[in-house]
Amino acid sequence: MAEDDIARWALKIEYDGTNYVGWQRQKDGLSIQTLIEAAASKLVGGRAVSSITAGRTDAGVHASGMVIHLDFPADAPINGRQIRDGMGYYLKPHPVVVLQAAPVSLDWSARFSATWRSYRFTILNRQARPALQENHVWHVKRSLDVDLMQEGANFLLGTHDFTSFRAIACQAKSAVRTLDVLKIHREGDLVLVDTQARSFLHHQVRNMVGSLVMVGSRQWPTEKMRDILQAKNRCAAGPTSPPDGLCLTGVGYPEDPFA
């Protein structure tokens, strides 16, 4: 569609990624993008609606504050409430929900206008397996020392080459990233890892958490995190944590479109 034919809307969405192949449309399996675009299309009488996301979550990863933008036909008689409630109706019974919708200019991009992304990784640290939190936590039986984990995490703050923490299949041209936040704390049986950066490499958060668990369980000294960074080799780092515990919690912009 030509620009004159487009009305761009920013959406904040949440979803449970357990049974999906991730955000991006795939040849095999159902994606969040496919569900979103299908619901948006139904809202405007079957016409095509394209989407761009602030971040591509992997299969099994969740989101509580994902931001996307949709390009609707400009002549579609819709408003923010109709987008939220109408798409909410068409997305049933899938656990995908539109929280907010706001009109934005055509030069605004959910991806390229974003200045930061934040994630939370949740670890259930107890002997008994999860019941209520199944598919939303990484169950780690071995006792974790969050103070040691934070000491190890501090080596990762700032600007570094994160080659050791990127997936082998990562397509980013550069492994240099600036990690602004990496905070770890305990709430009962839960160990919560909160992190924020302008952007992350593929599997970066899950790989950092996998190594930090090795530190928290006293299998590695805290200084090992510094050595892993300096190695610039994925084989030097710990295992990739499962997707279950990872949730994209927010995306920041110079001006909040939903304010």
Q: Give the residue ranges of the annotated binding site for substrate.
A: 119
Tokens of 27: 């040849």
**CA–CA separation, 157 and 177 (whole Å):** 10
75 labelled catalytic: no
Tally of CB atoms within 10 A around 49? 23
- Annotated catalytic residue, options 58, 180, 194, 227: 58
Q: Which residues are annotated as a binding site?
A: 119
What is the enclosing helix (H) or strand (E) of 148?
helix 146-154
Tell me phi and psi for residue 144, to 5 degrees.
Answer: -110, 135
CB 122 within 8 Å of CB 137: yes
Tokens of 107: 């030069």
What would you report as the CA-atom Rg of the chain, rounded to the nearest whole angstrom?
20
Q: Which residues are catalytic?
A: 58
